[in-house]
Chain A
Amino acid sequence: MIPELGHFALILALLVALVQGTLPLVGAAANSPRLMAMARPAARAQAVLVAFAFGCLAWSFVSNDFSVQNVAANSNSELPLQYRVAATWGSHEGSLLLWTLMLGGWSFAVSLFSRNLPLPLVARVLSVMGLISVGFLLFLLFTSNPFERLVPPAVEGNDLNPLLQDPGMVFHPPLLYMGYVGFSVAFAFALAALLGGRLDATWARWSRPWTTVAWSFLTIGIALGSGWAYYTLGWGGWWFWDPVENASFMPWLTGTALIHSLAVTEKRGAFRSWTVLLAILAFSLSLLGTFLVRSGVLTSVHAFATDPARGVFILAFLAVVIGGSLALFAWRAASVGLGAAFGVVSRESTLLGNNILLVVAMASVLLGTLYPLFLDALNLGKISVGPPYFDAVFYPLMAPAAFLMGVGPVARWSAAPLPELWTRLKWALGVALAGALILPLVLGRWSPLIAFGLFLALWIFASTAANLRQRLASTPRRGLLARLGANSPSYYGMLLAHLGVGVFVVGVTLVKGYEVERDVRLDVGDSVAVGNYDFRFLGVTPAPGPNYRALVGTVEVRKGAQLVETLKPEKRIYNASGQAMTIAAIDTGLRGDVYVSLGEPVGAGGSDDIAGAWSVRVYLKPFIDWIWGGALLMALGGFVAVSDRRYRLAVRRRATAFDAAAAPGAAD
């Protein structure tokens, strides 16, 4: 009964979404307040219905209702409760329902926090989001119904993919989708601006917080996914340039460009058509990501459920949404205009430079991801593009971007005289150069790449400090605290996010520069010296788990004679599926991780001889946690920036917004 209620709620949601997607749009065109006013209640009703359907599915999972095909295929009565909940979005159908739920949630939020917005804009934004929802609900109901019954019901479920039975995977998809789907708000704002022909500083101010929040969630989601890959795949890698990782990374790169472009549009009225294009692209790439993952056009470990009929549907949906919005852009962008002009060296030009680098980086990732598909489509053979391509293309693009990141916030709007930039940044440059030359020697080994990476990180730190110093010096208050308090959260959010990039660069540089990876065969009692540590293997013992049998190894880590840590890497065999999983044991520290994972038994008795020798992977990963720490700082910066009161103030008259922004030296 409960699954049928969920199914029925989805059908109702589709009908409501149709109303939400059409009538307010017509109302905005015909200037009918009555039709436009339907947007908010429709959006809320739709969100509640989808949430109800989602609750029904979650209930079916929690109560082990194996008469539902989706539950039977993705859950098991032995599965612990938290993973039964997570299994709700562990399947293709469930993850799409989560997508739709997120879209409903964002629409609901827009309907709540839009009191200051003009009604036609709200109507258009919610309508566009309603139309997207229509597409997803149709897709769910016609090709991927999560409530499909299984006749006769299964006695026992097939179990959730063991790879997904992990705390990181409980949170990764919802956070990632919050980000993906959150870009739909910026997208809807962009289309509303194109439709209404109104695109100005106030429009940018409305779009900014939505975009920043979505971007922050996406950042955390990607970081969680990367951390998950690090400790569950057992190879110590944190980024694989896997098509699905790329699918989430492309919207992130575009979203990053969009955030900065929106800042310029708000402050200076410039970059308007560029901002609109980025908003369309960010969400289009989120949709493309969904297509790539769900249609199975690319091989990937993530493509759990692939089905050509679904692929055709998503492709048609992509054609309508992306094709339609880009056609609208081609038709209306000219009326939006380019906005104010700016000097060759100015804050605008550095931001534009960074935007272009980010978009080119995104395009190169897109090309690398789809290249195998292009070649196959042209009958030129089947190939796969791996890390060598991405490393070769991506780092050289990001290095100048990291450098410009130090210059941009210090440069003046409109025109920044070079001598002035030099005075402001010479100390930062000196500190970064000196640190880059000396630090690698302190850390161990000097190499040009390590020095260069550290230079970029130190440059970001030092130029951010220089920016703060100069900002405080020019704040017309007495006393440090008063000066600190006089600056806006959005300014501090920007600093925090930029520091996050610096921290991230430190992590990447030092891991790539100094990591040690040893795969060794260890008999019980054997030791191996790696770096400054001594690893002693004490054998493997069986241990029970809730829905798996584990083999737990014991490895003592010593530094000199002192015991640092006893690590217990695991090998698990899941009861229901018989699949094996490797759980690495990691001693995490600010200065780096000690990572041990079990390979295979290699004793004399063959693969069943668990009491004998094992192949063991022993890795030292210096400063690796800085990678995720940096990502979290970036996201935190985003949230801090959004807390700025400015975004919640009643909208001033349109005219004054531009005047204020055009004043010389207007901040951030």
Chain B
Amino acid sequence: MSTENKMLHTVNKSPFERNALDSCLRLAKKGSSILLIEDAVYAALANTAVAEKISSRMDDFSFFVLGPDVETRGLSETPLIEGVSVVDYGDFVDMAAAHSAVNSWL
């Protein structure tokens, strides 16, 4: 899938703490990629009260989660929402290069 004309969105705060993920989901154009980093990785976990924020939008966006942030927080064995891909910093760089621009939702 060509991502040249698509924006890469990043979210870095927990969906339990901030509305950044909600705002991103509302204001990202369909077809964009969304990468969860830092505390936002909690949004990628399968069995939480907020999992449906992401699971209900799998048709609209491609979701990614930054592996090092998952591992740091002790979540490596915790099931993630199906369809969310784990990437590393090298992939993050590749994604930033392959997309048209990066929009960080803080």
A-B complex is real: no
Residues of chain B at the chain A interface (Cβ within 8 Å): none
